[in-house]
Amino acid sequence: MTLRGYDPVRVIELVIVLSLVQGLTEFLPISSSGHLAMIQVLWRAPLPGLLFDALVHLGTLLSILWVFRRRVSLLLAAFRRRDENRHLLWLIILGTIPTALLGLLLNPWIERAFSSLLVVGLGLLCSGGLLLLAARVSARAGRSHRALEGMTVRDALLIGLAQGIAILPGISRSGLTIGVGLLLGLERGLAAEFSFLLAGPAILGAVALKGWEALQQPGAHAALAGYYLLGTGLAAISGAVAIGLLLRFVQRGRLAPFAYYCWAVGLGALLLFSLNR
């Protein structure tokens, strides 16, 4: 959808809101898709198209690469060494497989589900429930969590499957993957780091797909380059802030506030659904 012909101030406001929401909610366990779906219903303006969506996702990918730059550099060199980073790299590759397969399977229904506040609300309620369950199970486990060397192929596949399910609007990707990691008994820091690193290939795939579709008409985007640059930068900065914030919360075992937030927003989405019927 084009933004031409609309008040530039209104467009800048929209770009800022969408970019910050994407950057923050992509990594905080509160569902970026759920928040964007609600904005789509509440905001009385056209939403930017596929290229903008691809570029703000690129911004969130850049935030992962920046925050985990040391780990990423070790992963890139891991093919030449037999150490824990090579083990982690293969787990990320294996975890990406069920994500991709499930994403392809669910993709035909995603656009319709994205416009349904009922689906969004139920997804947010489920995300909140899983977060609270994972926080309590992890707290009871005490110090008996597994480190990277004890992480298995089964762990990677199950977390990758969780990431694939999180394509559904209202289901928090980070919440579901971190929650599953904690329920599997992984260390809190490892569950969070693996969740963020596993997001990288998925986000890169989405960027490539959406960018390719949008660039079939390159002339339609030249006048919007400034908006695209602003959106990418804001998503990268806010994404890095969100990653740092969530890492601290996970390490302290404090996921309950995010669960309560998901429930509140989920109930709000269901209320909006009932009012708009």
φ, ψ of residue 134 to 5 degrees: the values are -65, -40
Query: What is the CB-side half-sphere exposure of residue 122 using CA atoms within 13 A?
Result: 8
The DSSP secondary-structure symbol of 126 reads H
Q: Determine the pLDDT at residue 174.
A: 94
Q: List, as own/partner pairs, every contact residues 216-221 make where C-beta atoms lie below 8 angstroms and the sequence separation is at least 24, other chains included.
A: 220/2, 221/51
Q: Are residues 98 and 162 in contact, defined by beta-carbon separation less than 8 angstroms?
A: no
Q: Is the pLDDT of residue 142 over 90?
A: no
Tokens 């008409």 appear where?
217
Residue 70 has pLDDT above 90, yes or no: yes
Q: What is the mean pLDDT of residues 51-76?
A: 91
Residue 257 has pLDDT above 60, yes or no: yes
User: HSE on the CB side for 64, CA within 13 Å?
Assistant: 24
What is the predicted pLDDT for the residue at 220?
Answer: 56
For residue 72 the two structure tokens come to: 């990423």
Domain boundaries, the chain: 8-275
Report whether 131 contacts 176 (CB < 8 A).
no
E strand or H helix at 136: helix 117-141
- Mean pLDDT along residues 129-156: 88
Cβ–Cβ under 8 Å, residues 242 and 28: yes
Q: What is the pTM of this model?
A: 0.90
Distance CA 177, CA 167 (A): 12
In this predicted structure, what is the pLDDT of residue 1? Answer: 43
Joined tokens for residue 32: 């970026």
Binned at pLDDT 50, 70 and 90, residue 50 comes out as low
Q: What are the backbone angles phi and psi of residue 216, rounded to the nearest 5°? A: -65, -20
Looking at the chain, the number of H-run helices and the number of E-run strands are 11, 0
Averaged pLDDT for residues 95-114: 84
The whole-number pLDDT of residue 38 equals 79
| Of the ranges 10-14, 101-105, 128-132, 204-208, the best mean pLDDT one | 128-132
- Provide the pLDDT for residue 40: 72
Q: Exposed/middle/buried for 258, CB within 10 Å: 0-12, 13-18, 19+?
A: buried
